[in-house]
Structure 1
Amino acid sequence: MEHDKQNGPIRRVVIAGGGTAGWMAAAALSRTLGKVLDIKLVESDEIGTVGVGEATIPSLVHFHRLLDIDEREFMAATQATFKLGISFENWRARGEDYIHSFGLTGTDHWSAGFQHFWHKGRERGLAHDYGDYCLELLAARENRFAHLPKDGLNYAYHLDATRYARYLRRFSEHFGVERIEAKIAAVEKNEASGHIAALRLDSGSRVEGDLFIDCTGFRSLLLGQALGVEYEDWSRWLFNDSAIALQTESTGPVVPYTRAIAHDWGWQWRIGLQGRVGNGIVFSSRHVDDDTARAALLANVQGKKLTEPRTIRFRPGQRKQVWAANCIGMGLASGFLEPIESTSIHLIQRAIVRLLQLFPTHGIHQTDIDEYNAQAAEDIRTIRDFIILHYKVTNRRDTPYWEAAATMDVPESLRHRIALFRDTGRVFRLQNELFAENSWVQVMLGQGMMPATHHHTADLMGDEELSGFLEGIRANVRRTASQLPQHGDYVARYCPAKA
């Protein structure tokens, strides 16, 4: 209806803030709609970015393909390496590790996932470790990588976030984005509509727009401060609220997986790039002080320090609306989940793709806003539940932090998933959610949760047939993995880093 429409056609898009979120939005909008839009990005070199989002998931590969970004060029420019998954060390219990890989494990039947056949084989003494049936997982363990035909190896990247923003800036400017070097002094609103009218800069000039994208980080200058959108706090489930990051020189072969090493009150990341390593520690300030966390990080890094430790504060959660009036929040301006599953850049990407699908070319409709917000809320809540799973399903009770995590009440949506898998081995997931069935299975098994039963389809196989089925998959995985080159050698040939 006509009264449901606000303002006229959208021609002027203003992106407030740069960094990964701002320049990803600029790149996608300019590459797809640059011929019909005037796109400006306002950022200041004096305002630093969080800049530690160095691990990604496979959706970024597809995002780059949509934009026709050359992989070799991008990887060389960002000193990137390949990533096949995440190694969780000491999460299930002290001294016990597992890998959540990006691959498929085994072969599913239309009626039941592979885990049911594996469970039956385990009961009969016919199955090996669940990870032995996944190519990506075995390749990660053996430090191997190569591109395979028909995307036969699922992968993502480790990258330098600062260099990535710089790379996307060049890409965006090629497609007509105008960068304005300035600080935002004030946000001007239209009193009648409540929409944002312009950004007033510290130079005194104004930047008017029809649609504004808030990429101002945790400050959320537009969505949070100017429009007053409230924040939904999830710290009752996700205790961590602080991080300390630093970079070190490389000291050995770069591995194709992120390391997530559990501590008594949080966890530590280690991400290998070409020429350096990204390190950090994520922790709960309710359970440990900054000095202790910093000392633990410094005691567990390798190689010469390239930067000084930098402390970051955050609050897990999301704005109650990520699109309000004529402003959309992206990245940290819209919400934050700790980086345990490397989902920050993915959520930026999803926000951008959703905007392109619902782009208000002829004017802003409340129906579009409602649909955008509903999809965004579903996206981040399913990811939130997956992250909470890592803490809830653990055998650790050795510190107050892990005791509290294991015994906390969790959202009903997650409680159902846990109970369903524990009772039946089944995984319930929504149609468009990020993490596939195998991701849930890998983490739940990795954390020590074994289903009580399996699907009856697996019982239709006798021991000989089931043994042959499982061993055929395992042998094929081992044969393919053994033919892959070492990850570091492949990277050195494929995309050697540029200075």
Structure 2
Amino acid sequence: MTDRPITRYCIAGGGTAGWMAAAALARFLPGGHTVELVESEAIGTVGVGEATIPQIHLFNGALGLDEAEFLRETKGSIKLGIEFDGWLREGAAYMHAFGNIGRSAGLLPFQHYWLRAHALGFAKPLQRYSLNELAGRTMRMQRGKTAGGQEMPYAYHFDAALYARYLRRFAEERGVTRYEGRIEQVERAGQSGDISALLLDGDRRIEADFFIDCTGFRGLLIEGALETGFEDWSDWLPCDRALAVACEGGGDFTPYTRSIARPAGWQWRIPLQHRLGNGLVYCSAQWSDDEAAETLLANLDGAPQTDPRPIRFTTGTRRRHWNRNCLALGLAAGFMEPLESTSIHLVQSAISRFLAVLPHAAPDPAIVGWFNQQARFEWERIRDFLILHYTANDRVGQPFWDQVRTMIPPDTLTAKLDQWRATGFIHREHEELFTDVGWFQVLVGQGVAARGYNRLADAMPEDDLRRFLGETERALIEQVKPMPRHLDFLRDCIARSERQGVDA
């Protein structure tokens, strides 16, 4: 790449990743830059997940999106956490809820007081100390601080195709140019080896200084042209197939995602305003496609709207997400199951990281190296968190679950498990995505027992500990009682958005 200033950006591929990138560049690039996006309506998008985590507020807020309008346009609903049903064993369920569990006291986080009370036999299940789970289980939702002054973080469920369409309007209104067509060839500069242009069907040629690869699993630029390489993680996460299908609404309109363990994988359930999003992630070595489809269709809340859509994948990541003058986003960067709703977040965090070091001209190797190092750290720590759900299970006698329970986890996960088992210690390293509270919930939910706790917790007399836990639980219950129901909350949001549209 020459030292000529980077002023022309080309995004290869649309979908959620492509239009998130286009919207962000359109919003933040200074004048004098152009952003073009190439996509083909003939190529479908994967759209495995339609659930997010609370960090989505940062992205939407940075763009200046109105929440009520966003929920209306994407047919969205609220997400307070994820319920894991049957992951430990059949009939057992727990929730990884957003927000705090209990409250700290003195120098220690809540987990050590709960572990001590659990050893003494009077600790209640974690859900009794979680504002989000208490609200979610009673189908309630409230924005902002509760009567007790506590924040209740939340995310969204939404139709990913509608979100991409919403962002497309946003981006095009701010100058992004879209080209319809298939990419038939990626042209590289002979001397530098950088990408110089995309050749489209119909003999069209799109030149740019910097390219963003959002071409999905194919990775036409990052892999097809630049041969960056791929690191396969399927030894730890062996599921390699998914079926996705929407069905008519039915059952509870839950303000949380459901993840239900099945004999050779797991099923997701995501409630939207107009339908339910469903899917089954499974291991093809243990289940045939027909067995998976039969299981999925037999466990829907309503009539399917289409035939299940098959998706094949290999879990893992590109060896570099930024290579030369190309940045890979979304499935072009790699894939991890939507078990903890991280797919859209990984696009968001990569865009944010890129904007933080936006190159003026030829990217400095030190900056590119930092970017790739941070991306690897983020992906590996999320990978470890997903593996924990699998490897800690008591579903004895089912070949798939026996296999994942007995595998040797990555060293980074082994260290985390050893620390927890020793004294209930959880360390959030640097800025890894999942907090100590998230790890706490999944470790307990998956039955990973801690042999002890921090002995500073013994400084609290037992009667005071009982009172501390009881007061914490009662305070949270009182904060949930006046909250509106999830459905009423959404109806009010949509009505407000429609009124604002009329007034405008």
Q: What's the TM-score bracket when you normalise by the shorter of the two chains?
A: over 0.9
* Pair 1:117 & 2:116 matched: no
1:219 partner amino acid: R
Q: Match for residue 216 of structure 2?
A: 217
Q: Match for residue 327 of structure 1?
A: 326
Q: Match for residue 180 of structure 1?
A: 179
Query: Partner of 1:87: helix, strand, or coil?
Result: strand
Query: Partner of 2:135: helix, strand, or coil?
Result: helix
Q: Percent identity?
A: 45
Query: Partner of 1:278: helix, strand, or coil?
Result: strand
Q: Match for residue 139 of structure 2?
A: 143
Q: Distance in 2 between matches of 1:319 and 1:419?
A: 29
Q: Match for residue 502 of structure 2?
A: none
1:109 to partner: Cα distance: 4.2
Q: Distance in 2 between matches of 1:116 and 1:155?
A: 26
Q: Match for residue 353 of structure 1?
A: 352
- TM-score scaled by length of structure 1: 0.97
1:6 to partner: Cα distance: 4.7
Q: Match for residue 54 of structure 2?
A: 58
2:271 partner amino acid: G
Once the two structures are overlaid, the 10-residue window that deviates more, 335-344 or 353-362, is 353-362
Q: Match for residue 304 of structure 1?
A: 303
Q: Match for residue 42 of structure 2?
A: 46
Instruction: Give the length in aligned residue pairs.
Output: 494
Q: Match for residue 276 of structure 2?
A: 277
Once the two structures are overlaid, the 10-residue window that deviates more, 378-387 or 388-397, is 388-397
Task: Encode CA deviations 1:193-248: one digit per residue, 9 max, x unaligned.
Answer: 01000001102111111110000000100001000111000000001000001001
The alpha-carbon distance between structure 1 residues 151 and 453, as it changes in their structure 2 partners (threshold 3 A), is closer
Equivalent positions of 1:93-492 (< 5 A) are 93-109=89-105, 111-149=107-145, 152-492=151-491
The alpha-carbon distance between structure 1 residues 127 and 378, as it changes in their structure 2 partners (threshold 3 A), is same
Structure 1's consecutive aligned runs of 4 or more residues displaced over 6 angstroms after TM superposition are none
Q: Distance in 1 between matches of 2:166 and 2:204?
A: 28
1:450 to partner: Cα distance: 2.0
1:125 to partner: Cα distance: 3.4
Q: Distance in 2 between matches of 1:34 and 1:303?
A: 48
Once the two structures are overlaid, the 10-residue window that deviates more, 476-485 or 383-392, is 476-485
1:320 to partner: Cα distance: 0.3
Query: Partner of 1:93: helix, strand, or coil?
Result: coil
* Pair 1:14 & 2:10 matched: yes
Q: Distance in 2 between matches of 1:27 and 1:270?
A: 28
The alpha-carbon distance between structure 1 residues 151 and 491, as it changes in their structure 2 partners (threshold 3 A), is farther
Which structure 2 residue ranges, 5 or more long, are not aligned?
499-504
* Pair 1:495 & 2:488 matched: no
1:422 to partner: Cα distance: 1.1
- TM-score scaled by length of structure 2: 0.96
The alpha-carbon distance between structure 1 residues 461 and 364, as it changes in their structure 2 partners (threshold 3 A), is same
1:376 to partner: Cα distance: 0.4
Once the two structures are overlaid, the 10-residue window that deviates more, 36-45 or 287-296, is 36-45
Once the two structures are overlaid, the 10-residue window that deviates more, 105-114 or 128-137, is 105-114
Verify the 8 A CA contact 1:34 1:175 in the aligned structure 2: no
Q: Match for residue 501 of structure 2?
A: none
Q: Distance in 2 between matches of 1:313 and 1:305?
A: 21
Q: Distance in 2 between matches of 1:388 and 1:212?
A: 33
Q: Distance in 2 between matches of 1:16 and 1:248?
A: 31
Q: Distance in 1 between matches of 2:331 and 2:2?
A: 27
Query: Partner of 1:92: helix, strand, or coil?
Result: coil
* Pair 1:82 & 2:78 matched: yes
Verify the 8 A CA contact 1:43 1:183 in the aligned structure 2: yes
Verify the 8 A CA contact 2:260 2:268 in the aligned structure 1: yes
2:487 partner amino acid: G
1:71 to partner: Cα distance: 0.7
Verify the 8 A CA contact 1:103 1:137 in the aligned structure 2: no
1:495 to partner: Cα distance: 2.3
1:57 partner amino acid: I
Aligned-pair Cα RMSD in Å: 1.4
